[in-house]
């Protein structure tokens, strides 16, 4: 393949990743679903490898840029700072650039540590999977129970986990909806937070232009090891997400502050992306929309294709990190000029419009229901990881 076409494909993926990473509600799985839906027409113009390069680049860029809206959008009122995301907390103290920088460090840590571990993972994953595949349902049930009882309000957490599971089962069984995850996840994790943030009248303090990074090489090495281990233990199991990887990484690393949490959570996301490619190669299972799109384009992922994907990932992580630093400085410069209420309304309107166009009236009903469920969970201080029952519970029932 001509190097120029490879570069163009990577840049196209970076552009798509910027769209999904910077705009809440425009999820990467949505773009992947569109690629699958129109793959017949796309393949008449481009060859499968070119499309795979673009998808890979998009996935890596998405995880890189996602830290920017995570830090700057949907910030609650100052009275609730002890209950919000660490990136939000730093932004509320005028340290958004520092929060984003820690996120970018985590993203690089996740990609590099998992890439280094590939020779070992390629050998271990098939062996482990053969041993546990008959028991995946039980394993997920144990993990689900641990998640629920790891919270202060154990009964409520369990109820929300099971309730979101029921919502997931109902959503997946509506035959007229092609993309049930769009309204389901957008409502539970996106729209609910945005709606609550509208009434908070958020006004960010002046954001510092300097970056305060305080982390040692030993800490980075420790995070690399724990993230890779947690990713290996969670990300080739169906229904589990990078949130579960982050939770396990936190337990293994014994996180002490907000900065460490930001690094680990972002490392978990980027590591999960690489693990997804490895899982497709080793056990021929797709665990995300992007990997499913790749699986749809080629019969099986061979070693040459895996090496290409990893090479593209490393190139993309370098380019997208540079873009992220540049964009974050530009965006932060105009932070105090942003009307957050209007911005949230625009994003909410976009999500509703997409759900209505893509999933029709049935999807809109799911969106309203899941949003209400997400708002109730946030009002009752239920950790959002309990809402991943919408993915795990249907998988458990399927396994049994």
Sign of CA dihedral 260, 221, 276, 27: positive
At 270-313, the pLDDT tens digits run: 888 898 899 889 988 877 778 888 888 887 788 999 999 999 99
Residue identified by tokens 């690489």 is 274
CA–CA distance, 177 with 238 (Å, rounded to integer): 21
At 190-232, the pLDDT tens digits run: 888 888 877 666 667 777 777 777 777 777 777 777 777 777 6
Quote the pLDDT of residue 79. Answer: 34
CA–CA distance, 107 with 63 (Å, rounded to integer): 7
Please tell me what DSSP assigns to residue 337: G
Q: How many CB atoms lie within 10 A of CB 388?
A: 24
Confidence of residue 366 (pLDDT cuts 50, 70, 90): very high
Contact 364, 183 (CB under 8 A): yes
Contact 31, 78 (CB under 8 A): no
Highest-scoring range by mean pLDDT, 110-119, 229-238, 247-256: 110-119
At 80-139, the pLDDT tens digits run: 333 457 787 788 888 888 889 988 998 998 899 889 989 988 998 888 888 888 888 888
CA–CA distance, 272 with 88 (Å, rounded to integer): 23
CA–CA distance, 133 with 374 (Å, rounded to integer): 32
CA–CA distance, 306 with 312 (Å, rounded to integer): 10
Query: Between the CA of residue 55 and those of 12, 15, 51, 186, 278, what are the distances in Å?
Result: 9, 11, 6, 21, 15
pTM of the full predicted structure? 0.83
Sequential DSSP letters for 156-220: HHHHHHHHHHHHHHHHHT-TT-S-THHHHHIIIIIIHHHHHHHTTT--PPPPPSS------HHHH
Quote the pLDDT of residue 47. Answer: 86
Quote the pLDDT of residue 368. Answer: 94
């Amino acid at each position: 393949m001509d190097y120029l076409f490879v570069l163009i494909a990577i840049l196209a993926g970076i552009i798509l990743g910027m769209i999904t990473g910077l705009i809440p509600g425009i999820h990467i799985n949505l773009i992947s679903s569109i690629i699958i839906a129109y793959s017949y027409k796309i393949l008449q113009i481009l060859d499968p490898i070119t499309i795979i390069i673009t998808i890979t680049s998009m996935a890596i860029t998405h995880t890189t840029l996602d830290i920017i809206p995570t830090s700057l959008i949907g910030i609650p009122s100052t009275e609730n700072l002890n209950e919000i995301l660490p990136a939000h907390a730093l932004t509320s103290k005028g340290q958004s650039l520092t929060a984003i920088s820690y996120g970018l460090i985590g993203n690089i840590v996740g990609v590099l540590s998992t890439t280094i571990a590939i020779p070992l993972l390629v050998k271990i994953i098939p062996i482990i999977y053969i041993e546990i595949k008959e028991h995946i349902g039980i394993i997920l049930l144990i993990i689900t129970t641990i998640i629920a009882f790891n919270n202060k309000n154990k009964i409520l957490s369990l109820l929300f986990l099971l309730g979101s599971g029921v919502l997931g089962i109902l959503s997946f069984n509506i035959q007229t909806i092609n993309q049930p995850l769009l309204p389901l996840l957008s409502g539970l994790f996106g729209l609910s937070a945005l709606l609550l943030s509208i009434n908070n009248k958020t006004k960010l303090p002046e954001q510092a232009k300097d970056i305060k990074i305080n982390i040692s090489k030993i800490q980075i090495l420790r995070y690399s090891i724990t993230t890779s281990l947690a990713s290996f233990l969670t990300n080739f199991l169906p229904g589990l997400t990078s949130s579960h990887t982050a939770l396990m990484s936190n337990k293994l690393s014994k996180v002490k502050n907000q900065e460490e949490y930001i690094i680990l959570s972002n490392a978990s996301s980027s590591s999960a992306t690489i693990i997804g490619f490895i899982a497709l190669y080793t056990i021929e299972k797709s665990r995300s929309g992007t990997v499913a799109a790749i699986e749809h384009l080629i019969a099986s992922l061979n070693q040459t294709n895996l090496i290409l994907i990893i090479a593209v990932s490393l190139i993309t992580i370098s380019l997208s990190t540079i873009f992220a630093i540049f964009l974050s400085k530009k965006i932060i410069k105009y932070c105090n000029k942003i009307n957050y209420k209007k911005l949230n309304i625009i994003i909410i309107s976009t999500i509703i419009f997409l759900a209505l166009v893509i999933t029709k009236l049935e999807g809109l009903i799911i969106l309203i229901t899941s949003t209400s469920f997400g708002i109730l969970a946030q009002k009752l201080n239920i950790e959002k990881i309990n809402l991943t029952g919408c993915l795990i519970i249907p998988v458990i029932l399927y396994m049994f």
